[in-house]
């Protein structure tokens, strides 16, 4: 079970004017990112506003991606919720559709829970399915993380818990995960990509893949092709672009940029509690990207 080295894109989720998921745009965007070098896509993660999307919506939209021609073996569905029962249900559905894997958050509503409680949550999910599972560690957003000791315990017990996405942004934590022999580790950003590749990692899962897939995937290809100097230069450009984007609310920014490149205003919509980026913020962002990175996005 391996995709091989490469970039995984956590898909933005487009919404229609009535608030439903715009499946046509969803499929189109996934196909575009795969064509630009991504080895897989992950719907319904943080970037895809997953916690704001209902269980039945996720399952229906996942079916829509596959019916639209996105190969299930190139989909790692984000299935984690605050409810164990819902997480199992969504994960089983991804398994039934023969998705390549499931990316699973810890239950994130109750805080200051014990390591044993986190371990039991993941263990019950793993006992209910056989699909490859990637744990998802993003404590600064979820409020609950996946401690190293829990990762080690779960990885030793369940053969289909195969990896982790570490979006903590803390290399000390990511480096310790790489010390777990056989565990597949994806940093949740291209910022740590070169360090991860040097440790034998396959790549990263990055929100900015939605707008910069070719450059980030090029870093991985160059590194694995022995072109380390060229990989380092591409990496510096990709990180600089990410830092520019991170000055603004990231999901609305990415949707604004995809809307401009695609010409489809439906991409501008986000679900509450998020709000659209508009007015002076948009102008400032576009000026920054144009002047600092030579990147121009079409006006809507």
The 10s digit of each residue's pLDDT in 62-105 is: 999 999 999 999 999 999 999 999 999 999 999 999 999 999 99
Query: CATH fold of 6-227, please?
Result: TIM Barrel (3.20.20)
CB atoms within 10 A of CB 31: 15
CA of residue 190 relative to chain centroid, distance = 11
pLDDT band at 4 (very low <50, low <70, confident <90, very high): confident
CA distance 24 to 42: 17
Least Cα distance to 87 among 113, 126, 125 occurs for 125
Q: Which H helix or E strand runs over 198?
A: helix 193-198
Q: Catalytic annotation on 152? A: no
| For residues 263-280, average pLDDT | 93
Q: Give the Cα separation of 244 and 29 in Å (integer).
A: 22
**Residue 46 is among the residues annotated as catalytic for this protein:** yes
- Looking at per-residue pLDDT, the higher value among 188 and 279 belongs to 188
Q: What average pLDDT does this structure show over 106-130?
A: 97
| 293 band by pLDDT with thresholds 50, 70 and 90 | confident
Q: What is the pLDDT of residues 17-50, one digit of tens each?
A: 999 999 999 999 999 999 999 999 999 999 999 9
Look up residue 128 and give its two tokens. Answer: 């209910």
- Residue in 79, 87, 136, 186 annotated catalytic: 136
* Count of CA atoms in the C-beta half-sphere (13 A) of 141: 17
Instruction: Please report the sign of the dihedral spanned by the C-alpha atoms of residue 291, residue 292, residue 296, residue 297.
Output: negative
User: Could you confirm whether 136 is annotated as catalytic?
Assistant: yes
Ordered by start, the domain boundaries in the chain are 6-227
Alpha carbon dihedral 208, 41, 252, 93, in 10-degree steps, equals -150
Q: Which two tokens stand for residue 250?
A: 């990231």
Q: Is residue 109 annotated as part of the catalytic site, yes or no?
A: yes
Which one is catalytic: 46, 81, 91, 184?
A: 46
Q: Which of 109, 130, 233, 275 is catalytic?
A: 109
Q: Are 13 and 49 in contact (CB under 8 A)?
A: yes
Tell me, what's the pLDDT at 299?
63
On whether the CB atoms of residues 299 and 268 are closer than 8 A, the answer is: no
CA 224 to CA 261: how far, in whole Å? 30
Q: State the pLDDT at residue 1.
A: 47
Give, in degrees to the nearest 5, the angle at Cα 102 between 153 and 86: 90
Cα dihedral 139→143→146→149 (10° resolution): 100
Residue 4 dihedral angles phi and psi, to the nearest 5°: 85, 180
From the candidates 165, 174, 184, 255, which is the catalytic residue?
165
């Amino acid at each position: 079970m391996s995709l091989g080295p490469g970039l995984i894109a956590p898909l933005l989720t487009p919404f229609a004017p009535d608030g439903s998921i715009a499946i046509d745009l969803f499929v189109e965007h996934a196909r575009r990112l795969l064509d630009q070098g991504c080895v897989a896509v992950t719907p319904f993660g943080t970037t895809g506003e997953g916690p704001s999307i209902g269980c039945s919506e996720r399952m229906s939209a996942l079916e829509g991606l596959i019916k639209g021609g996105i190969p299930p073996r190139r989909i790692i569905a984000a299935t984690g919720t605050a409810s164990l029962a819902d997480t199992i249900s969504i994960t089983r559905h991804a398994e039934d559709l023969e998705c390549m894997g499931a990316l699973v958050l810890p239950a994130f509503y109750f805080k200051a829970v014990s390591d044993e409680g986190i371990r039991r949550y993941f263990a019950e999910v793993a006992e209910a399915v056989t699909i490859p599972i990637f744990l998802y560690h993003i404590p600064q957003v979820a409020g609950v993380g996946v401690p190293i000791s829990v990762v080690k315990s779960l990885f030793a017990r369940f053969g289909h818990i195969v990896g982790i996405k570490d979006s903590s942004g803390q290399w000390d934590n990511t480096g310790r995960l790489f010390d777990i022999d056989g565990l597949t580790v994806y940093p949740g950003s291209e910022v740590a990509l070169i360090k991860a590749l040097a440790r034998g990692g396959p790549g990263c899962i990055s929100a900015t893949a939605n707008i910069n897939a070719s450059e980030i995937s090029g870093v991985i290809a160059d590194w694995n092709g022995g072109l380390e100097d060229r990989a380092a230069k591409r990496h510096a450009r990709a990180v600089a672009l990410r830092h520019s984007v991170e000055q603004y609310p990231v999901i609305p920014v990415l949707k604004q940029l995809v809307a401009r490149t695609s010409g489809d205003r439906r991409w501008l919509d986000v679900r509450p509690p998020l709000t659209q980026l508009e007015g002076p913020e948009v102008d400032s962002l576009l000026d920054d990207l144009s002047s600092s990175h030579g990147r121009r996005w079409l006006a809507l």
